[in-house]
Amino acid sequence: MAEASNVLFFSSVFVFQEHFTPECKFKECVFENYYVTYSSILYRQTQSGRAWYIGINRDGQVMKGNRVKKTKGAAHFLPKLIEVAMYREPSLHDVAEQSPPRKTPKTSSDSPVLQNGKKDPQSKTKTSSS
């Protein structure tokens, strides 16, 4: 998206490098209701520092960036989805069914007896004699 000198906005899928200037950079902000606002990276209000937003009035005319506020409806846009991929969210029951079976835990007779972090030599003789 870019701003031309006569305050017209145009968007294009293909952006050529020679036409891409800092004026073409906008920050996209998505609200909870899925509306999107676009604020200029380059331009701000001189006194307050508030960002300039892209806005279209009721007649479809482009508004000046310094007149548009992010809370006004003129600055809210609904993005058009190009491609939607719908995935079903798995439930906990589906996850449990698809997980591999768990290995049975070792019993206390299978595990070695430790004494001060080392195997107890007496436990080997006990297990081998039994």
The mean pLDDT of 87-98, rounded to a whole number, is 69
* Dihedral pair phi/psi, residue 59, rounded to 5°: -85, 0
- Amino acid 94: pLDDT: 67
CATH of the domain at 19: 2.80.10.50
pLDDT category at 7 given cuts 50, 70, 90 is very low
Tell me if 54 is assigned to some domain: yes
pLDDT category at 26 given cuts 50, 70, 90 is confident
Give the range of the structural domain holding residue 48, as residue numbers without chain letter: 2-75
- Amino acid 108: pLDDT: 56
For 72-82, the pLDDT digits (tens) are 888 888 888 77
**Total domains in the fold of the chain:** 1
**Burial of 90: CB neighbours in 10 Å, binned 0-12, 13-18, 19+:** exposed
Tell me if 15 is assigned to some domain: yes
Q: Output the six-digit token pair for 81.
A: 């989805």
pTM of the model: 0.47
| DSSP-derived secondary structure letter, 54 | -
**Burial of 51: CB neighbours in 10 Å, binned 0-12, 13-18, 19+:** buried
Tell me if 36 is assigned to some domain: yes
Tell me if 100 is assigned to some domain: no
Here the contacts of 4-12 (C-beta below 8 Å, separation 24 or greater) are 7/62, 7/64, 8/62, 9/54, 9/62
